[in-house]
Every structure is written in C-alpha cells, then in structure tokens.
Amino acid sequence: MDGECKVLIVGSIAIDDIETPFAKRKGVLGGAATYSSCAASHFAPTAIVGVVGDDFPPEHMELFQSRGIDTEGLQVVPGPTFRWECVYHANMQSRDTLSTKLGVFEEFSPRIPEKLRRCPFVLLGNIHPDLQRHVLAQLEDPLVIAADTMNFWIRGAAESLAELIRQVNLLFLNDEEARELTGEANLTRAADRIHEMGPRMVMTKRGEHGATLHFDGEVCFIPPYPARVVRDPTGAGDTFAGGMIGRLASGGVVNRRSLRDAALCGTALASFSIEEFGPEHVARVSRTQLDERLAAIQSTVQDE
Amino acid sequence: MDGECKVLIVGSIAIDDIETPFAKRKGVLGGAATYSSCAASHFAPTAIVGVVGDDFPPEHMELFQSRGIDTEGLQVVPGPTFRWECVYHANMQSRDTLSTKLGVFEEFSPRIPEKLRRCPFVLLGNIHPDLQRHVLAQLEDPLVIAADTMNFWIRGAAESLAELIRQVNLLFLNDEEARELTGEANLTRAADRIHEMGPRMVMTKRGEHGATLHFDGEVCFIPPYPARVVRDPTGAGDTFAGGMIGRLASGGVVNRRSLRDAALCGTALASFSIEEFGPEHVARVSRTQLDERLAAIQSTVQDE
C-alpha cells in the first residue's frame, strides 16, 4: 500500500511452537502485532512497531514487506526473538503455555518513528500497560485508540491498566477478562462498567460464539463464522482486532454502521486465520475470498 | 385460546427449590413442560401432557388455566409431585442439583388424549427417550416433532436416544450436549453429524451467547438478548423451545424465515423468564412487551 500510514500497530512479534490435536509446528511466525498488522493491511496502509532479535528469519520479514506493512518502527536488536510454546487441549478452546522466552522483548521500549506519530488509528497489542501508555505519550491525538489486554495485567498491573483504559476509546477483551476486570458475572453489565472506566467502545470477544460491541450504550452482536475447519486458533483475536481497526481506518468514520461493518471484516479475516498455522493464510486472502466469507457471516443473521 | 390445539407439549411438571446468588425461593412452579407450555401459549393453542401429585397447589393449576392451556392430558395421581432442589454458582452459568425426588413422575407413562393425537406441532421435553418414543407412537403424523434431551440420556440411554433422534425433525440441545452426543469438539461439525442422525433442524443452545440453528445445511445464528438482570436461569431453555414451537405453529409454515422468526420469539420469551423465578413472569408478558423485546434483539444484528 502506498501513502501515509493510517494504522499503527504496536505489540509482540514472536516465533511460536504450537501443538494442536491435529498437528505440531515449530518456528511459526507469531505475536499479536504480527497477526493484527497482516489483517489491517488488507484495508489500509499499516505500520508495525515492535522488536525482534538478530535470529529473526528473513522470510518472516518478507511477509511484512509482501503486505506493504511499514517496518521502520520494527527494531532488530542483538539477541533472541521472543519465543512461545503452547499446546491446545482437545476441545481447542483452551491451551497450556509450555514456555515463554521473552528474549529481546524483555527490554522492549516502543519508539514511534516521527512520521507515525499522527496515525489516526492505533492498536495497542497486549503488552504491559506501562508500555501501552508509553506509546500513547508519543502520539498526537489519534482518532481511535484501541487496546487489547489480558488477565495477567488485570491481576498484576491493575493501576496502570486502569489509567490506560481511561485513555483508550476501543477496548478489546474476552468474556472472562471482562468479568475479571469488573467483578461482574453478567457480560452486559460488565461492558457497562467498562464504559464507565473510559472507553466509548467495548468489544467483548466470545471465542467460537462471536463478539459483542457496546458503543455509546447500544449493543451490537457480531455473529461468529460457522467454521468447520479449525487447525490453530492462535492469533484469531489479534487478527479480528487488526482487521477491524484496518477496515475502520479505510473509511475514516466511526459510527454504529462502520463499527459493525469493521467487526464483521475482522471476523471474516479471523475465520481464515484459524484454518492454518501462522499468519500467512490471512496474508494471502484475496478480496473475492474475503467478500464471500463476509456474505456467509452476514447470511447467518439474515432471513435469506 | 379457543379451538383445536396446535401445540402438544409433553414433559416434566415440578415444584422447585432454587437458590441463586440473589435470592432463595421454595415451592416455585417448575418443570420443562411448564415453562414450554406457558411460552407456546402466547402464540398458539397449547396442550400440556404430564403428571402431578395430589399435593399440587391449586394456584399452580390456575396458571395453566389463565394461559388457556389444555390440561386434559395432565394426570393428577395420589402421591407427591416431582420436586427438584438446586443452587446456582456465583457466575449463574452452572448449578448443582441438591436433590431430585421424582415422586409420581417416577411412574409417569404419558397417555395422549384422543383429541390431541393429530396435533401438528409436538415438543417432547427432556424425559427418558423411551417415554418420548412412547408418545410418538401415539401420534398421527405430526408436521414438526421437536425434542430436547440432556447428557444424562446421552450417557445412560444412548440406543433409545439414537432411535428417538431418527424420528425427530427438530432437536434442541446445548453446546456441551452436542459435543458429547457426536464426539465432535467443533459445534458446526457436531450439528452436521446430528443432521446425519436424522433431524432436519438442529438447534444448538449456547446459553448467554445465543443459539445456532442448522436447517438443511444452512446456519442461522440467533443472537442473545443482552440481559442485564438475571435472577434465575431455570427454565430458560424450555421457554425458548416452547416459544419457538408455539410461534412456528401459529404460522403453520416451516422455512428458514419462519424458523428464524420463531427462534427470535423464543429468545425474547426466554429473556423474560430469566428476570424472575418461576414461569409466572413469562405468563404475564404482554404482546407490546414482547414486540419491544423482539425489536431490541433484532437491533443487535442490524445496522440501525
């Protein structure tokens, strides 16, 4: 993609070893920012900010280039790239992390290149809320500040996370995280509480059951794609978030209609992501394939 | 309601003691057939077939009468009514049964009154599949034979259940039951397998996440109502099924559009059911309240 970047994505870039009930793969390109930027780049000029080690394979770097993703903010530093190893349970709904080796990611301090500081659409992947806030401090008044988080920070960095959430206008989290963050068992009331904490838009991800967007007190239900082939769920949530922010950026307008459309695009890309290991499958999706998938998802909530 | 019954509902009628994180209630009218028939009666003339003991309180019997539900097939026999005692966990998603006293339900053998044997819409509540098949043997070619089941029969009466499922054209079950019945972790593939076992229509209930209808290989996603007040989830699934079958019966036509409309009506009634203990709240819902709730559910999957 040419032109000024519309979407800035900051987060982890990793190399994963993944075992599912179907297969075992080593050295898969991973990390939240990887999946998100591959997805966003389908819709709008996208930049990635992150860090990898000097062991990062050139073919992985080429994937970003093939998608036209701006990598000026992707630091390559001496040392090993972040590595993560996990095994999925038979139900594919839950997984165990076998090892996390942060490598160069341990000392990651995101520096946003000058030219990216006015990006209107920003997605802060799931990293320490201190780092997410450090990124925001470098930016000039983005239109949409989206962030993802996880239980680990809800438990371990609650104050910093609360401060981040005050500054964010689109928060992504899954149903269990929404419950844990708010102490509300009811997901609708949990989203109400999160609205009160700051974000005008709250996207509660429900895994195989779809997602719910709360926007200015209204509720949008985003149906799931009725997938039959799920080989690897890794990165599905990041693909969803990246696809959504990219699509929003392509239109530039934030309202109920554009948010719903963007979330359906995110769902469509995530439905490709789970069909294969790694982000390459999403990277290769054609506009025709994407449109067909979108129509299939829409049709599940329509009469014809 | 006047005229010939369109909907026949067979199943349990009980008296429940229920504890939730919000309140504890004793002697609540319960049972699957109770909730289902109260819901169905909003749309079409409905008959209930079941059994209660001679201790069954008159005010409970009056509820059926107030809804115009035909009770000719409701046997009153000497002995205690089926009693069930349960406590919900803090998340309201799971519960423990503290006691089950079958009473007169233990010897229940459903006898369908002559005038009900040609009912076109039949809902077989969750009872032993032998009994569900015994009901079917008494009927004359119903248009829709719907049935609910549970893990207990999947494990304990697999052969009889398989035979029942061959005869049913609309099967209700929840996500975990669909997985257990088919051995498929993937819910879409699980529904495919159930199609192959017989039913043309498979409704997979996902609790707070809505439901999915598989109909002739097509998938309809039925969104949940974004409830904020959940006092007692007991009977929500039965209310959903009863509302759906009643609404289908009122139109008399079975196609994708009527099934989706009927499932949304079932969702709307179930969303009232969970707001209070017992079926009385659903029994009292006005057409205006129902239409407002339906519009609210529809709006969650529409642009405006």
| pLDDT over 70, % of chain B | 99
Cβ neighbours of B218 in A, within 8 Å: 299
Cβ neighbours of A179 in B, within 8 Å: 91
Dihedral through CA A210, CA B154, CA B245, CA B140, nearest 10?
150
Q: What is the mean pLDDT of residues B205-233?
A: 95
Write the ipTM: 0.92
Alpha-carbon gap, residue B293 to B272, rounded angstroms = 9
* pLDDT confidence of residue B22: 86
Contact status, residue B120 vs residue B49, Cβ threshold 8 Å: no
pLDDT tens digits for A191-242?
999 999 999 999 999 999 999 999 988 999 999 999 999 999 999 999 999 9
| pLDDT over 90, % of chain A | 94
Q: Cβ–Cβ contacts within 10 Å for residue B157, how many?
A: 16
B3 pLDDT band (50/70/90 cuts)? low
What tokens does B51 get? Answer: 């059994």
Tell me which residue in A206, A220, A230 faces B209 most closely, judged by beta carbons.
A206
Q: What is the mean pLDDT of residues A21-45?
A: 97
Please answer yes or no on whether A228 and B188 come within 8 Å at the CB atom.
yes
Alpha-carbon gap, residue A257 to B303, rounded angstroms = 5
Phi-psi region of B285 (alpha: psi -120 to 50; beta: other; left: phi over 0): beta
pLDDT tens digits for B141-164?
999 999 999 989 999 999 999 999
Q: DSSP assignment, residue B70?
A: B
* pLDDT confidence of residue A217: 80
B216 pLDDT band (50/70/90 cuts)? confident
* pLDDT confidence of residue A249: 98
pTM of full prediction above 0.90: yes
Please answer yes or no on whether A256 and B208 come within 8 Å at the CB atom.
no
Alpha-carbon gap, residue A187 to B228, rounded angstroms = 8
pLDDT tens digits for B10-40?
999 999 999 999 899 999 999 999 999 999 9
Contact status, residue B184 vs residue B150, Cβ threshold 8 Å: no
* pLDDT confidence of residue A91: 81
Q: What is the mean pLDDT of residues A131-140?
A: 97
A3 pLDDT band (50/70/90 cuts)? low
Please answer yes or no on whether A92 and B186 come within 8 Å at the CB atom.
yes
What tokens does B302 get? Answer: 């529409």
pLDDT at residue A103 greater than cutoff 80: yes
pLDDT at residue B166 greater than cutoff 50: yes
Alpha-carbon gap, residue A238 to A133, rounded angstroms = 19
Rg of chain A in Å (alpha carbons): 18
pLDDT tens digits for A45-54?
999 999 999 9
Residues of B with CB under 8 A from a CB of A: 21, 90-93, 179, 185-189, 192, 206, 208-210, 212, 218-221, 223-224, 226-228, 230, 256-257, 260, 299-301, 303-304
* pLDDT confidence of residue A34: 98
SS3 A303: coil
Contact status, residue B83 vs residue B103, Cβ threshold 8 Å: yes
* pLDDT confidence of residue A124: 98
pLDDT at residue B2 greater than cutoff 50: no
Q: What is the mean pLDDT of chain B?
A: 95
pLDDT at residue B211 greater than cutoff 90: yes
Contact status, residue B245 vs residue B146, Cβ threshold 8 Å: yes
pLDDT at residue A1 greater than cutoff 70: no
Alpha-carbon gap, residue B282 to A280, rounded angstroms = 51
Alpha-carbon gap, residue A226 to A21, rounded angstroms = 20
pLDDT at residue B93 greater than cutoff 90: no
Tell me which residue in B187, B206, B300 faces A219 most closely, judged by beta carbons.
B300
Sort strands A46-53 and A24-30 into parallel, antiparallel or unpaired: unpaired
